[in-house]
Structure 1
Amino acid sequence: MRNLLMIIVAAVISLSACEKDITVNLQQQEQSLVVEGKFESNQYPQVVLTRSLGYFSQIDTAALLASFVHKAVVTVSDSVRTMTLRETIVEIPGLGPVFAYTPDTAQPSVFKGKAGNQYTLRITADNKSYEAVTTIPLQNFHLDTIWWRRTRQGDDTLKARLWARITDAATPGNYARYFTRTNKGPFLAGLNSTLDDQVVNGTTFEIPVDAGVDKSKRVDPETNGFFNRGDTVTLKFCNIDKATYTFWRALDFAYSSNGNPFASPTKIMGNVPGAIGYWGGYAVTYKTVIIRK
């Protein structure tokens, strides 16, 4: 492997001697609608709508605020009922207050998510219509228990690793995503936050669970994944459908590969035709453990 790397480096150096400037005229792409919609069990749906930004666009607070889509018509339906979502301001970890579409809970037509049900999201924005379907699946991945183990990270003996025992139903095709909360902080997804049952179908297994990370900040490789002794840790474990799993698995991979020149190109597959993003259902289970000092 080392020899192969040396050959590649040598080739790059030799080719640099005969390089020339090339000007590429990139076409300006039309803005796309970006959808981030979730519907958790026993909760109301939440949908954030923005417009895509150009690859070379300057990203700052003003650009992000200008990207939000206002005055859209957003509805969520099950097989019987339909509720209309209204624009409001919500707090999202890592982003702060943002514009989002949520139901008016004072209205009698609103309903919360229920495991095993299918939900259709419809959006009308900028004279275009979009439709996506998701399912809040049954909890075929069952979170049995969580615990912690001491670990030594360098000279630091105050770190701990979270572990979980999970039982998977015998029916194949189960998917999950997880988040962790430390003390009173926000729930954050792990760097690799998704799980499927291709290998573990129908078994009970134990896995280490990395601490969630704020992906808007630089990750410290020395401490990433560990908790501190004395922390109170809550695991938010979510059964999800295949489309939601595929979206977040690709996004996690793209984030982890950022800056790696040898990483394979990643295509993010959403489930909202004509738009970018996803509409996902989550069947949620919570468990909490206190890591003793």
Structure 2
Amino acid sequence: MNKALGLGLLVAAVGLAGCNDFQKSIDVPLPNYQNQLVVECYLENGAVPRLSVTESVPYLDNGQAAAAGSQVLALPNGQTVQLPTDVTVNLTLPGGRVVNLPFRPGLDAATGKYYTHSGTAALAAAAGQQFALDVQDKRGRHVVGTAVVPTFVPIDSVKYKFNTAVDRKAYFLTKWTDPAATTDFYRIQLHKGKPSNNSETDNDVRDRLFNGQAYAQVTRYRFDPNDTITATLYHVDSAYFNFRQSVRDARNANGNPFAQPAGIRSTVQGGVGVFSVLVKDQKTLILK
């Protein structure tokens, strides 16, 4: 080995080893954080109203210390959430009648989602009607929100096509017609097999480029013969659309040192979360 090079490597090694002498632990004081109520509520015509009320915690919290009036709930996936148990939930129907949704935690078998409060009777919801939500606990926290029922936009057709006889992969096409003279927002999901909380695709679309026209959402070649595919089209309002966009941005920014922090654009006031009425159409095809 070249002597000069060998000496250089030795000096570099000594220098790196000496870096340990400059390490120092620093305690960074974090600002005091006030836990907020987190509400997630989606109403549907013909469905019993359910919602989940949880509690936000500091970003670096280990999720083990529950505040007074709350309990830590361990989920099957290993995660924990703070579950406030002193919460009163009231839903105001379009006619003005107030319905209390008692604390009755459970698991929705169809979606796989947990809920904390549930009604007893199915709702009747028509386009243009408004619902109001009132959530408050005994610690002075109060969350309110309103949601208007969107109009129903049907799926015109669903189609598929295989690429070659060798690969036998199919794309899936969902087509609908956008209402004219209005700004409209959509959520389009594709499920393989029985619809559940886990979808094959889940996209948000606005009609900026196809206002008043027919539009087709097409996937890549990703499905196999004999797959059962269900397309679900939601016609949603702008608040729900913006909420979903902000959640996606926050997830992308989490843990990314080069991303700008992203806040959640809630559709409720006084806390964090979403309150919306979902109006959907579904069509199912078996790929042969």
Q: Please tell me the TM-score bracket, short chain as reference.
A: 0.7 to 0.9
Instruction: Indicate the residue corresponding to 1:169 in structure 2.
Output: 179
Instruction: Indicate the residue corresponding to 2:192 in structure 1.
Output: 182
Q: 2:262 aligns with which of 238, 242, 266?
A: 266
**Partners of 1:111 and 1:68 in 2: CA distance:** 26
Letter in structure 1 aligned against 2:182: P
How many percent of aligned residue pairs carry the same amino acid?
22
Structure 1 residue 97: Cα displacement? 6.3
Does structure 1 conserve the Cα–Cα contact (< 8 Å) formed by 2:253 and 2:262? no
Instruction: Indicate the residue corresponding to 1:214 in structure 2.
Output: none
**Partners of 1:129 and 1:53 in 2: CA distance:** 17
Does structure 2 conserve the Cα–Cα contact (< 8 Å) formed by 1:68 and 1:99? no
Instruction: Indicate the residue corresponding to 1:235 in structure 2.
Output: 231
3-state secondary structure, aligned to 1:188: coil
Instruction: Indicate the residue corresponding to 1:119 in structure 2.
Output: 131
Letter in structure 1 aligned against 2:287: I
Instruction: Indicate the residue corresponding to 1:29 in structure 2.
Output: 33
Distance 1:41 1:104, change over 3 A: closer
Does structure 1 conserve the Cα–Cα contact (< 8 Å) formed by 2:189 and 2:202? no
Distance 1:158 1:102, change over 3 A: farther
Structure 1 residue 263: Cα displacement? 4.0
Structure 1 residue 92: Cα displacement? 4.7
Does structure 2 conserve the Cα–Cα contact (< 8 Å) formed by 1:239 and 1:282? yes
Structure 1 residue 169: Cα displacement? 0.7
State how many pairs are aligned: 253
Matches within 5 A, 1:8-23: 23=27
Which shows bigger deviation, 179-188 or 119-128?
A: 179-188
Distance 1:58 1:291, change over 3 A: farther
Distance 1:256 1:230, change over 3 A: farther
3-state secondary structure, aligned to 2:240: helix
Matches within 5 A, 1:177-256: 177-184=187-194, 186-188=196-198, 193-209=203-219, 226-256=222-252
Q: Structure 1 residue 129 and structure 2 residue 139: aligned?
A: no
Structure 1 residue 273: Cα displacement? 0.9
Q: Deviations over 1:104-124 (max 9, x none)?
A: 22xxxx633333311101112
Q: Structure 1 residue 74 and structure 2 residue 70: aligned?
A: no
Structure with max Cα Rg: 2
**Partners of 1:271 and 1:196 in 2: CA distance:** 18
**Partners of 1:95 and 1:183 in 2: CA distance:** 13
Q: Structure 1 residue 84 and structure 2 residue 100: aligned?
A: yes
Instruction: Indicate the residue corresponding to 2:11 in structure 1.
Output: none
Distance 1:77 1:143, change over 3 A: same
Q: Deviations over 1:71-99 (max 9, x none)?
A: 42211113312221122233258995634
Letter in structure 2 aligned against 1:79: P
The two structures have a TM-score, normalised by structure 1, of: 0.74
The two structures have a TM-score, normalised by structure 2, of: 0.76
Distance 1:83 1:269, change over 3 A: same
Gaps of 5+ in 1: 1-16, 211-224
**Partners of 1:195 and 1:243 in 2: CA distance:** 13
